[in-house]
Chains A and B, each alone.
Chain A
Amino acid sequence: MQELLQQLVNGITWGSIYSLIALGYTMVYGILRFINFAHGDVYMVGAYIAYYLVAAFGMSSGGAPPAAALAVILGAMAGAALLGIIIERLAYKPLRRQPRLTVLITAIGVSLFLENAGILVFGADPKFFPQIFAARSVRLPGGALTTSHQLLVLGGALVLMVGLSLIVYRSPIGRAMRALAYSRDVASLMGIPTDRIITFTFALGSALAAAAGVLVALSTPRIDPLMGLMPGLKAFVAAVLGGIGNIPGAMLGGLVLGLAETLVSGYVSSTYRDAIAFALLIIILLVRPAGLLGRAVTEKV
């Protein structure tokens, strides 16, 4: 019982990492109907920006004030947002009127470019991400153990999910984003600056990825240029599982995937972890093709 409880806690904390990354995927998809495969790599760049910021501020492991840690996260988010804008301008904007497949393949190209540029610039060897504030063990009711950093990841995912929902559903720019999602041409006729909104969407998505990168680097303090590859892919799966385009769906999808992986490697074998997790995805999609929280949309002809 104790063990099961601990595994559930492990699964939820691990799944919240997927949730964090999946939020960015699902938002960009929801607005632009486009899967930004470079998302996982922006997540990696975010972690590296934070790594160098920490070094630049001369923060060592342990005693940094919370304000400094927040400054590092915000700095990484700003840097990644800028990167997102540059990627959009150089790689995706010229393809605005091209078929969706062309943009998709360009996104894979951008992803590979970022990974290899990362190897070149940051070096291929993993770096130790300094513990700017020390992890404390937290005993949950029932006896399961977790750490303050993992609670931070889960809390961060929840805060970002709520914040993102507020931006998309409650702000003027969010209304413009949703209008764009409904019909780009009509939105443009109504005087919505579509290019600016698309740029904003990318900047926001990249900032989300960077926030995820920093939070994850804090709880598993090892970063390398390919760290975004698998989590990026899994987060994409999580977004589809929850219903791509749906913000709470991304959160739920991440948690389900994390729990599935943890329970499989805890009770079966980590060799089958990915196989079983993906089999689960196929089964869920067979039963609910639009994902757990997705609405089935009939395509207009």
Chain B
Amino acid sequence: MRTLSRSRRPLALLVLLVLALSCAKKGGQLKIGEYGSLTGDKATFGTSTHNGIQMALDEANAAGGVGGIPIALVTEDDQGRPEEAATAVNKLIVQDQVIAVLGEVASSNSLAAAPICQEAAVPMITPSSTNPAVTEVGDYIFRICFIDPFQGTVMARFARESLRLSTVAVLRDVKSDYSVGLAGYFTQEFTRQGGTITGDESYQQGDVDFKAPLTALIARMPEALYVPGYYTEVGLIARQARELGYKGSLLGGDGWDSPKLTEIAGEAIGGSYLSNHYSTEDPNPVVQGFISSYRTRFGESPDAMAALGYDAMRLLVHCLRELAAADPEALAALAGTGGDAAARAAARARLRDLIAATRGFSGVTGEISLDANRNAIKPAVVLEIRNGQFRFRERIGS
């Protein structure tokens, strides 16, 4: 074998040094994985969630991490695409060996990643996926937000009881599990309460022209349109509905919650209502404290995705601290400072049990209690869009 040439020797030394350092188990750390749509047509969802997670992480580390062990975050961008979400989570689990996974916002993406976490027995908490199927994947999958049957019902009740509407038309995004689910639950509750659905049309994510379905819906003169889609399309839908002369309100869900919505739709979205997870106008000091430190750090008001990202990370840290108190050895296994692969798996199972036992955890998006199906039981808020602002309208309990 040829010896290394003189010029290559420093390089070889460097490689050895890096290897030695990366193998050192000094102190260890708790690696948490995050996947989200940092780019793509739901980019504000991923970015806000990430900001919230990052803020909770920094606060936890500033307070000494978990029993002195720092928490590290590994973030992967899935571009808002289910197939990329699966790849990202595979990488987080296999390559980065994370102890828990946070993500995603869009239910279709969470549904792509959840089976991988379940298979590897790595707890996954989705901050804001509301489609029921996500947590049905298995006992390692949790969510800290309400589910679509509830969200759709809330909007139907609001439309019927508060707005006193009797006719609503539905426009759903057939390419999104979230949108199709919400449209169904809304229709069910609204008709159960004696309202009439005058039309049910569809579009596909990525469309830019919605005039054909809108014309068909508007022809039957509904008092409001229920459009449970994502903000990029909803912005254009609002615009085109007004261009077709429609004067009624648009109703939607948390998929609308992005500053891009009002940017794209402009005046057209005024007087519309959406169901959401929290309101920045909540006087609760915990909420206001979160909002002011988020504003200082990121220069904008936190939307619901940021608040849920923050709560998801805080809940995870809370459970890790409980684990540290109850079983320091399990925590050491998770931090990579003790125990083998089997010990790590056992420790993750204990972490899972602690998350599942969450009752009355106080988050900025309200009290979080997980039910037997690992879904959070929480009230929802209805926001009204006025002059480009999301204003609190009312709270509807479970």
Contact = CB atoms under 8 A, between A and B. Distances in A.
A224 B174 CA distance: 21
A119 interface: yes
Given A124-B79, A270-B204, A262 B212 contact: yes
B311 to A, nearest CB: 24
B94 interface: no
Interface residues of B, number: 33
11 contacts: A124-B40, A128-B235, A128-B263, A137-B243, A145-B244, A146-B243, A226-B206, A266-B212, A270-B202, A270-B213, A271-B204
Contact of B264 (A14, A17, A128): A128
Interface stretch (A1-9, A158-166, A290-298): A1-9
Central interface residue in B207, B212, B219, B260, by most chain A CB within 10 Å:
B212
B208 interface: yes
A265 B39 contact: no
A147 interface: yes
Given A222-B232, A270-B204, A10 B243 contact: no
Contacts of B43: 123-125
A102 interface: no
A137 B245 contact: yes
Contact of A222 (B219, B244, B264): B264
Contact of B41 (A126, A221, A266): A126
A248 to B, nearest CB: 24
Contact of A7 (B201, B202, B215): B215
B164 interface: no
A271 to B, nearest CB: 6
Interface in A252-287: 261-267, 269-271
Contacts of A128: 235, 260, 263-264
Contacts of A147: 243
Nearest to B263: A128
Contacts of A3: 215-216, 219
Interface of A: 2-3, 6-7, 10-11, 13-14, 17, 61, 119, 123-126, 128, 131, 135, 137, 145-147, 216, 220-222, 224, 226-227, 230, 261-267, 269-271
Contact of B245 (A7, A125, A145, A264): A145
Interface in B68-85: 79-80
A263 B212 CA distance: 7
A10 B215 contact: yes
Interface in B236-269: 236, 239, 243-245, 260, 263-264, 266
B295 interface: no
**CB-CB nearest 8 A-B residue pairs:** A125-B43, A124-B39, A266-B212, A10-B211, A220-B208, A265-B212, A3-B219, A262-B212
B294 interface: no
A264 B215 CA distance: 12
Interface in B310-367: none
